[in-house]
Structure 1
Amino acid sequence: MTVIRRLKNLSTGNAGETPPIVFRAKIFFFLVCLSLLSVDGWQAWKNRTVQLRDTETTMVNMARALAQHGDDTLKAADLILSGVIELMAADGLTEKMKPRLHQLLKSRVAELPQLAGLFVLNADGYAMVDSNEVLFSNNVNDRNYFQYHRDHADLGPYVGPLVKNPAGAWRLTVSRRINNPDGSFGGVVLAAIDIDYFRNFYNTFNIGESGLIILGLNNGTLLVRRPFFDKYVGSDLRKVPIFRDYVTKNHDGTHTAPSTVDGKDKINAYRHFNQFPMFIAIALSKDEVLDGWIDDTLRHTAAILILILILAVLGNWLLSQIKLRLETEAKLVIAHDNLDQLNKHLQNLALEDGLTGLANRRHFDIALNEEFARALRNRETLGLIMIDVDWFKQYNDIYGHRAGDDSLRRIADMIKAVPQRTGDLAARYGGEEMVVLLPQTTLESAAIIAERLRADIAALDIQHAASPLTIVTISVGVAVIRPSLQSDTPDQLVEEADRALYIAKAKGRNNVARSDEVKTETSLS
């Protein structure tokens, strides 16, 4: 019964409350959905980190490639300049030599797409030989590269600021100093590199709509910019944070910072040329880099949300089925409980005397057999008190059966108080006869209980005109047996108690007689 009640409580909970198992199932579904979102969120953040890291790696490699390309472009031009100087040192620049040198310069410009022109300038700034069809006639003694070589004895290559030719095209100059035999300034050999060469090359890279590529001198002068705007050519980059804080201090690196133009985060990568005083810088919009990641994340999140929605629908259906099953089980448990109670009630009715409320004869017979078997098994005593109401037939004749029933009920109430232990049983044996079964009781103890019961019933002072004692009394026979043989039977105990009851009546009623008195009477007879 206790187990059933616990099962019922576990299944249904208190009235109006969610059953515990349904509550746990809801917690489980919630944790599953939360886990899916957490895993998806963690994976999305991990993909974002990988995306940014891969982008930085790509930008570093791109910066390295562009720097190498710039180095190679300038180096190719410088090698031509070195060759021209060596040729002039060996053969001299005679009138006979000029046509040959002109063809050489012209062929080199045709071979290298980055070259816009090659020039040999004298100490006054006029062209002596160049790669043009018509000799360049303008004086260049006011140019930065010319003044640098004139004022410095350094014979190495010099990369000067951009210059704009008469046609309006920007040129990057690489030049070397020409010395006279006495070491004095003899002029300049110059290579003009077409900026469009770099610009067209940079346009082949996918840097997004907000991306940026900058080619500049180490002194902070901007040479080439993609996207190209004429106004930016020659700009001073020294106050730009990325140049000031990073490019000037490191050979290469990456850095993410807000743009000074639009304030949006840019991922920057930069690298200095190995052979020339120049650097390349690349900037990509962080938002554009993460566009693909955002699209993937939205798709994954949408898929997870759809999955969660499906789980929610299925889970809700499953929970409703579980709840319905629990409610059905609870009803079955309650029905079983009620049936069990009813069975017990019917069983009690079947084993209880309807008039007195004592155990009936059937109940007594069952208990007697069980206790007798236990006494035989454990070699213990088993006592029996047999009670008979004195002159009860006459009582009914005088006062009526209803009064007789009331009298029996009052006597039965006194007898009910006798059983105090498990195994003790008070029963109506038949008519006005009642018994008390007392396991593990000695004859002396049973006799004391019987005497007390006799006195208590006499003290009820129920009037009985047909009795010599004028009140209702009882006669009591007491017997105790200790069964030791399989041949012993419960009937032996009943017979001994009945004989003792007979002795009590023979004494004049309102007496208690013990089974050992029966043996004494028999021996005397």
Structure 2
Amino acid sequence: MKRDIHLVFLLLLIIGLSLASLTLWKVMASRKQMLDDINTHSLNLTQALSTYSEGIVRQSSMILLGLVERLETEGSGPAQIERLRQLVSRQQSLMPQMSGVTVYDKDGRWLMSSNRPIPAGANSSDRAYFIHHRDDPSREPFIGLPIRSRSTQEWVITVSRRFDGPHGEFAGVVAVTLGIENFLRLFGQLDIGREGAIGLSYTDGALLVRYPFREQDMGRNFSKSPIYAKYLVDRSVGTASFTSSLDGVERLYAFRKSDKLPLVTTVALGRNEALAAWRFEALLSLLVVSGLLMLTGFVGWMLIRDIRRRVAVESELRVAQQQLLDSNQKLAHLALNDPLTGLANRRCFNETLDVEVRRAQREKTSLALLMIDIDHFKLFNDTYGHPAGDACLQEVGALLAACVRRPTDLVARYGGEEIAVVLPLTDSAGAAVVAQMMLDRLKEKAIDHRASPFGRVTVSIGIACAAGAELDGWQVLLDHADGALYAAKRLGRNRLHGG
């Protein structure tokens, strides 16, 4: 009848584990597939947005290149500037992201503004892009950080080039301003959820644009964020998951570094939002499986209840047997452990040392033995009394046992104030490390012993170690450890000796 109960339990367990495992596997596989799909979709978006951003910058650079060539060929007189204004007005309709084109002379004064009349005394010599071109002879375009336009008061990004005079000297700057609102128009057409975000930034972490747009984000630098500090160090494209430093929302990130420009495109989806459909599906699966498990459990309970009615006496006998086993275990523990310190006793030590010596001889491995004696322990008892001596033995025993961590090691009370430590698979160097740790721990503990010349409780440690082929028996190893212990005591105590 007991076997019948076990079979019912086993059947219920197999059914329950099978259903739970299958459901868990299905739920986790579905989650992984959804995350993979989200990452693939986000990486595709970063590719499209990176191409879009590169196209805008490239288009702006081409416009600037044509204007710079005209300025350097025809000059920057009023007639030439007027022709440039007409040229820009014809091109502006081809690039809706462009807010305007501005030409500055070598001192930062405005020579032309395509989108409004030039304000009196307008000067942009303090702008970062102007300073860059003035101080850097490079002819390459420069993408500036977001600034508030002085002509329209909107937030813009500048793409600029320098133009030179007849003798190669700096003559001024031509800048295309890209309105962030127009730049983000395409971003806003993408469904990234309420917690999603799209960003375009420099490779050094300086933010250029972010959707949804927040004015307080302008000028921020994300070089300390995980994407820049961890992921972009050794790769140019990838995915990650972490909590945003902007708003504290956990997001799934996809990022891509441009091959041609110092730009990084990032697409982030709110993790909770992205996994909402998966959570609903998982919850539905868990509800169905829970119902099946409850039904199976109810049927099994009915069967077990009927069986248990016939095995009540057997159950009581099993309890009595278990109590007897527990009592035997306690007796075995008392037979092998020292009642004062809780360490293994002399009998356990002798049996263990004999077994380990035989194993070391058979397997040709090293075996180390530490013999430890508490220095001036009789003076401790005479000074503080035997109850304090017992407490000292307990404290020292616990401290030494804490220095030995492997299950195969044994710390035993050898007798009186002597403690022995068996260290299988340990050479002399390893045994010395353990012994030194014991000395250091006792020094840190600083148990008061005013009758000792050291002013605290100390121990002397003798070390004996031999390989399997050198072991003649446990008594020889024990004699060597005893000899090393006496040598440590002769040399002044509070030390280790031997090895």
TM-score when scaled to structure 2?
0.56
Q: Distance in 2 between matches of 1:275 and 1:62?
A: 18
Residue 117 (structure 1) shift: 0.2
Q: Name the count of aligned residue pairs.
A: 306
Confirm whether residue 24 of structure 1 aligns to residue 7 of structure 2. yes
Q: What is residue 140 of structure 1 aligned with on the other side?
A: 124
Pick the aligned partner of 2:84 from 101, 108, 130.
Answer: 101
Map 1:359-508 → 2, pairs under 5 A: none
After superposing the two structures, state which structure 1 stretch, 23-32 or 208-217, moved more: 23-32
* Alignment check: 8 A CA contact 1:177 1:186 kept: yes
1:287 has 2:285 as partner:
no
Structure whose CA Rg is larger: 1
Counterpart-to-counterpart distance in 2, 1:283 and 1:22: 55
AA in 2 matched with 1:281 = T
2:154 aligned to 162, 169, 172, which one?
169
- Picking from 51, 73, 86, the partner of 1:68 is 51
Q: 3-state SS of the aligned residue for 1:53? A: helix
Deviation sequence 1:259-288 (CA, Å, 0-9, x none): 335656432222222332222223333222
Instruction: Find the counterpart in structure 2 of residue 229 from structure 1.
Output: 214
Deviation at 1:92, TM superposition (A): 3.9
Instruction: State the one-letter code of the partner of 2:126.
Output: D
Residue of 227, 230, 235 corresponding to 1:250: 235
Matches within 5 A, 1:269-348: 269-311=254-296
Q: What is the match of residue 267 of structure 1? A: 252
For 2:31, give the aligned amino acid.
Answer: R
Closer, same or farther: CA 267–311 of 1 in aligned 2, 3 Å:
same
* Unpaired segments ≥5 residues, structure 2: 308-499
Residue number in structure 2 paired with 1:192: 177
Would the aligned equivalents of 1:150 and 1:185 in 2 still touch at CA under 8 Å?
yes
Cα pair 1:109 1:118 within 8 Å, conserved? no
Change (3 A) 1:262 1:101: closer
The change in CA–CA distance for 1:248 and 1:162 in structure 2 (over 3 A counts) is farther
| 1:140–1:47 CA distance, 2 compared to 1 (3 A) | same
Q: Does 1:114 align with 2:97?
A: yes
Distance apart, 1:219 and its partner CA:
3.0
Cα 1:70/1:117, change in 2 over 3 Å: same
Are 1:59 and 2:42 an aligned pair? yes
Aligned residue type for 1:229 = R
- Return 5+ residue gaps in structure 1 as ranges: 1-16, 324-525
Output the CA distance in 2 between the equivalents of 1:114 and 1:312: 66
Alpha-carbon offset, residue 313 of structure 1 = 6.0
What are the Cα deviations for residues 201-255 of structure 1, in whole angstroms up to 9, with x where unaligned? 2222333333332222223322222332212201122333432233355322222
Residue 156 of structure 1 aligns to a residue whose secondary structure is: coil
Q: SS where residue 184 of structure 2 aligns?
A: helix
TM-score under structure 1 length normalisation: 0.53
| 1:154 CA displacement | 0.5
What letter corresponds to residue 232 of structure 2 in structure 1? V
C-alpha spacing 1:135/1:110, structure 2 compared with 1 (3 Å): farther
State the alpha-carbon separation in 1 of the partners of residues 101 and 259 from structure 2.
24
Distance 1:264 1:173, change over 3 A: closer
SS in 2 for 1:96: helix
Q: Distance in 2 between matches of 1:274 and 1:129?
A: 33
Residues 49 and 83 (structure 1), Cα distance of their counterparts in 2 relative to 1, 3 Å cut: same
SS at structure 2 position matched to 1:132 = coil
Q: Give 2:225's aligned residue.
A: 240
Q: Which amino acid aligns with 1:87?
A: R
Q: Deviations over 1:24-52 (max 9, x none)?
A: 35633442232112101111111112222
CA positional deviation for 1:60: 1.8
Q: Report the CA distance between 1:292 and its aligned residue.
A: 1.5
Go from structure 1 to structure 2 and tell me whether the alpha carbon gap of 1:114 and 1:264 turns closer, same or farther (over 3 Å shift): closer
- RMSD of aligned residue pairs (Cα, Å): 2.9
- What SS does the aligned partner of 1:239 have? coil
Q: How many angstroms does 1:290 deviate by? A: 2.0
Q: 1:234 to 1:31 in 2, by over 3 A?
A: same
Q: How far did residue 186 of structure 1 move? A: 1.2
Residue 188 of structure 2, aligned match among 194, 203, 207: 203
Deviation of 1:297 after TM superposition, in Å, equals 0.5
Distance, in Å, in 2 between the alignment partners of 1:30 and 1:195 is 61
Quickly say closer, same or farther: Cα 1:30–1:246, change in 2 above 3 A: closer
What is the match of residue 344 of structure 2?
none
Residue 116 of structure 1, CA deviation: 0.3
Determine helix, strand or coil for the equivalent of 1:181: coil
